[in-house]
Amino acid sequence: MPTDWRPAHKLFPHQVGFTCPPFDFDAAPSDFLRISPETVGVHGWMLHVPDYVHGLDQRRANFGMLEDFVHCMARNGVDVAAQVGSNWVHASGLGVAGIRDHCARLSDTYGIAFHMAGYAMVEALRDLGVRSVALNAAYHWPEWWQGTAGFLREAGFEVLWAGNFVDQGWFATQEEVNSRRWVFDGDLALKSFEYVARQAPGADAYLINGMCNFRTGPDGQPQRPLHLTAMLEAALGKPVVGHDTALYWRVFKTLGIAPVGAHGRLLESLHG
């Protein structure tokens, strides 16, 4: 194993590693690669925590696994390591400044950039000049999205409205939402955002929590906000930012490259 990864050692000029919550088959490596130039290679690492049930306490207890992930990726010539999932930042208890410092420490220690989706959202909104937001919390449990809203407020944003699909009236109970395993009918994407926009017409931007999936692809294949951003922005007339698009934007920005194609205002800003 080389101790320093010179360009001649690398399979791709730009190498990116993603990790996701334990036991999740995550779309981020596929989605990111599909919008990347051919110079980009992607690898994913699925965390393993026995008896994991997506509890915020479990994320906090296993927060150190993220350093294992960064260390592993650094040993293999990755340029950027990216953590998928919005809840890790507020579950950690570190606060906004603490998460910023944590990402900086891991980046400095292992010599590669490390970005977390929850903090990438903060960075993306600041880059767009956004001050007020409304949060489409989608499938997230109340304690999940309330943690996200609190993190955004701590970062200095005015959260004009926040609520999940139960709050919006699309489902009667959280259990009914959970049974969908985070995959929903395609028409719910626009309907839910239109609902949020009515609650907060003055918001500078509309956000969507986590990594929600809608059956908007070929033959009903699930797709994330990345695929829907341009359509949603055209309908709402405002920037629409998901934790997936925010994380991809941060990775591309670090690499100094831009995605291929048009995927909404945030990612298109990378084209200069």
pLDDT in tens, 2-33: 667 777 888 999 999 999 888 788 999 999 99
Q: List the structure tokens of 114.
A: 């490390």
Least confident of 58-72, 137-151, 236-250, 254-268: 58-72
What's the CATH number for 7-120+245-263?
3.40.50.12500
Would you state the pLDDT for residue 112? Answer: 97
Give CA–CA dist 124/190, Å, rounded. 22
Q: List the structure tokens of 205.
A: 């931007």
Give CA–CA dist 171/165, Å, rounded. 6
The domain over range 122-242 is classified in CATH as 3.40.50.1370: no
Would you state the pLDDT for residue 1? Answer: 64
The reply to whether 7-120+245-263 and 122-242 are identical in fold is yes
- pTM equals 0.96
Taking only the tens place, the pLDDT of each residue in 32-80 is 999 999 999 999 998 888 887 777 887 888 888 999 999 999 999 999 9
Using DSSP, state whether 45 is helix, strand or coil. Answer: strand
Q: Where are the domains of the chain?
A: 7-120+245-263, 122-242
Would you state the pLDDT for residue 210? Answer: 77
Label residue 104 by pLDDT band (50, 70, 90): very high
Asked whether the beta carbons of 216 and 188 are under 8 A apart, the reply is: no
Would you state the pLDDT for residue 2? Answer: 63
